[in-house]
Amino acid sequence: MKLALLAIALLSASCATKTCWSGGIPMRESEMHAQWGAEVDILKSANDVKIYRGLVHPLTRKSLYERQVKKGGWVEFQDFKFHAEPMDAKPDTARKVLEIYKRTASHQALALKTTCAGFHPDYALVWTKGGKQRVLQLCYGCHEWKYFGPGGMVHTDIEDDTFFKELLPLLPRPR
């Protein structure tokens, strides 16, 4: 019994700093090809990228979310609501985030998660090229990214070291 309690305590402590579902699962070849297509599009199109903060999670903070929606001042990208004003980030923040995203090593195969409340992006990087909008969404609760571009959508897990060591210093957890 004591051993079981110790194991639960250690798992809980590790989940506070790392994700509980990461297994370092490599992406399948088809997932890598889809991600490479997104990389090519980003290299050709990423100019004047704006970063938007998401509204609070509609399930975990329902009443605050409803107040934010009712108040207005939001925009919607790919079915999720974000504050209408882009955040005031350092000039190279968007470029650094996209450089991280373009690295295949920063992605893992999408895993089934039971500990998060469902994908809800905390940030969206948004830009347009040739009249077509591109959106990169980052969900900190699920540690996932979704990229929407002219070729479709790419949805992968964010590799843990990438998440904790590279993304959080650039785009801190929303409060």
Query: Are the C-beta atoms of residues 82 and 74 closer than 8 Å to each other?
Result: yes
Domain 41-170 has CATH 3.30.1490: yes
Q: What is the pLDDT of residues 115-171, one digit of tens each?
A: 666 789 999 999 998 889 999 999 998 899 999 988 789 898 999 899 999 999 999
Nearest Cα to Cα of residue 140 among 115, 127, 90: 115
CA distance 152 to 146: 10
Give the HSE-up count for residue 15: Cα atoms under 13 Å, Cβ half-sphere.
13
pTM: 0.79
Strand runs labelled E in the chain: 50-53, 74-77, 80-83, 107-108, 123-129, 132-139, 144-149, 152-158
Q: What is the pLDDT of residues 4-31, one digit of tens each?
A: 333 334 333 334 444 444 445 655 555 5
Query: Are the C-beta atoms of residues 163 and 142 closer than 8 Å to each other?
Result: no
Tokens of 54: 């998401």
Q: What is the pLDDT of residues 34-79, one digit of tens each?
A: 666 666 677 778 889 999 999 999 988 999 999 999 999 999 999 9
Domain ranges of the chain: 41-170
